[in-house]
């Protein structure tokens, strides 16, 4: 009983830390570029696939994949920003959503064509196998690592954005990009780097997720819908809010999966409806 409860809660915590990472990236991209990046799910999937392909074809181990896969996906993201998203500047943000939606279809279609519907298992790296018996539950080592690493990266992002000079530029660009440019900052380059960074963050979540879940072409689209709901619930106003909401939604899903499994996939959308009723701007949001 308690074993199952804590097991589900911990799985919820893992999902929650992925939601936190993804909604963080979405919020950073939206803040600066005014683009809701639908391709975030596809970039998460590409991160997982990049890790799997690196291991399968080149024998590159997990530790290197954690670094290289986000780098590769981030580079692809930067090319996309430079060649496509840039053309939509100044238009209604809806076009950005539609463009990234189209890109998602292309990416999913290509991977689906190459690898089909079935998933691939990514083996847990040797040094993270096994687990600890905590008394009330058995904790697989990799899952603890996944949560710890994701949260550490979330906190590092929070620190960089809120407490460093680089973050100050980013926040200034979010408030008023033209003024920032007038001060001599290369804002277009910042746009490119920010989009690449957001994409890399999504890919990083994908690599961490690869050993927990099956690597499939469609793994991203189911996650991105939940992350959008997380963003509506939390509001995109604050970085801390995105992290807290992501974790909260993950835990809530875990609890629901324990009490009444069929409802676990819809609970987040029900919460979204409730939040819209009570606090339309989102829990941590301010209306833009």
Partner 1 sequence: MPGRLVTWGWIALLALGLAAPFVVYPVFAMNVLCLALFASAFNLLLGYTGLLSFGHAAFLGASAYTTGWALRSWGLPPELAVLLGTALAAALGLVFGALAIRRSGIYFAMITLGFAQLVYFLVVQLPWTGGEDGLQGIPRGRALGLFPLDDPRTAYWFVYAAFLGGFWLLHRAIHSPFGHVLRAIRENEPRAVSLGYDVARYKLLAFVLSAGVSGLAGGLKALVLQFASLSDVHWHRSGEVVLMTLLGGMGTVLGPSVGALLVVALENYLADTGSWVTVITGAVFVACVVAFRRGIVGEVRALVRRSFTGGKP
Distance, CA of 122 to CA of 116 (rounded, Å): 16
Nearer to partner 1, 2 or 83 (CB): 83
Binding to partner 1 by residue 90, rule CB under 8 A? no
Q: Which of residues 212-271 bind partner 1 (CB under 8 A)?
A: 221, 225, 228-229, 231-232, 262, 265-266, 268-270
Listed ranges 3-11, 104-112, 174-182, 198-206: which one lies at the site for partner 1 (CB under 8 A): 104-112
Structural tokens at position 156: 């590092």
Q: Which of residues 147-206 bind partner 1 (CB under 8 A)?
A: none
Nearer to partner 1, 132 or 266 (CB): 266
Q: Can you list the pairs that 111-120 forms with residues at least 24 positions away whose Cβ atoms lie under 8 Å?
A: 111/45, 111/46, 111/49, 111/217, 112/217, 112/218, 115/49, 115/216, 115/217, 116/217, 117/216, 117/217, 117/218, 118/216, 119/213, 119/214, 119/215, 119/216, 119/219, 120/52, 120/56, 120/214, 120/215, 120/216
Q: What is the DSSP letter of 213?
A: S
Question: What are the φ/ψ torsions at residue 133 (nearest 5 degrees)?
Answer: -95, 115
Give least dist CB 91 to partner 1, A. 8
Binding to partner 1 by residue 89, rule CB under 8 A? no
Listed ranges 90-98, 128-136, 138-146, 167-175: which one lies at the site for partner 1 (CB under 8 A): 90-98
Q: Which of residues 118-157 bind partner 1 (CB under 8 A)?
A: none
Residue among 14, 16, 80 at smallest CA distance from 46: 80
The answer to whether the CB of 192 falls within 8 A of the CB of 82 is yes
Give least dist CB 119 to partner 1, A. 16
Q: Choose, by CB under 8 A, the member of 3, 64, 109, 121 that binds partner 1.
A: 109
Q: Which of residues 45-84 bind partner 1 (CB under 8 A)?
A: 84
Q: What is the DSSP letter of 122?
A: P
Structural tokens at position 47: 């991160």
Binding to partner 1 by residue 36, rule CB under 8 A? yes
Listed ranges 48-56, 58-66, 106-114, 119-127: which one lies at the site for partner 1 (CB under 8 A): 106-114
The answer to whether the CB of 227 falls within 8 A of the CB of 50 is no
Nearer to partner 1, 12 or 217 (CB): 217
Give least dist CB 96 to partner 1, A. 8
Instruction: Name the site residues for partner 1 (rule: CB under 8 A).
Output: 30, 36, 84, 87-88, 91, 93-95, 97-99, 101-110, 112-113, 221, 225, 228-229, 231-232, 262, 265-266, 268-270, 272-273, 276-277, 280-281
């Amino acid at each position: 009983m308690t074993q199952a409860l804590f097991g589900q809660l911990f799985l919820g915590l893992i999902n929650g830390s992925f939601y936190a990472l993804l909604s963080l990236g979405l919020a950073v991209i939206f803040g600066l570029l005014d683009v809701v990046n639908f391709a975030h799910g596809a970039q998460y999937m590409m991160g997982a696939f990049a890790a799997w392909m690196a291991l399968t074809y080149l024998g590159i181990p997990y530790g290197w994949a954690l670094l290289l896969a986000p780098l590769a996906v981030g580079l692809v993201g930067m090319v996309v920003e430079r060649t496509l998203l840039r053309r939509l500047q100044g238009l209604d943000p809806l076009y950005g959503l539609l463009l990234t939606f189209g890109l998602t279809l292309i990416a999913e279609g290509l991977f689906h064509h190459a690898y089909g519907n079935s998933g691939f298992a990514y083996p847990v790296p040797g040094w993270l196998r096994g687990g600890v018996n905590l008394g009330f539950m058995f904790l697989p080592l990799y899952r603890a690592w996944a949560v710890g690493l994701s949260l550490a990266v979330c906190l590092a992002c929070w620190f960089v954005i809120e407490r460093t000079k680089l973050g100050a530029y980013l926040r200034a660009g979010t408030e008023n990009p033209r003024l920032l440019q007038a001060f001599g900052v290369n804002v277009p380059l910042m746009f490119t780097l920010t989009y690449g960074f957001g994409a890399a963050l999504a890919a990083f979540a994908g690599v961490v997720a690869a050993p927990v879940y099956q690597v499939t072409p469609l793994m991203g689209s189911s996650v991105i819908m939940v992350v959008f709901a997380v963003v509506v619930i939390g509001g995109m106003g604050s970085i801390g809010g995105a992290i807290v909401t992501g974790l909260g939604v993950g835990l809530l899903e875990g609890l629901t999966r324990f009490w009444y499994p069929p409802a676990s996939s819809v609970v987040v959308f029900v919460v979204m409806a409730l939040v819209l009723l009570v606090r339309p701007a989102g829990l941590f949001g301010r209306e833009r």
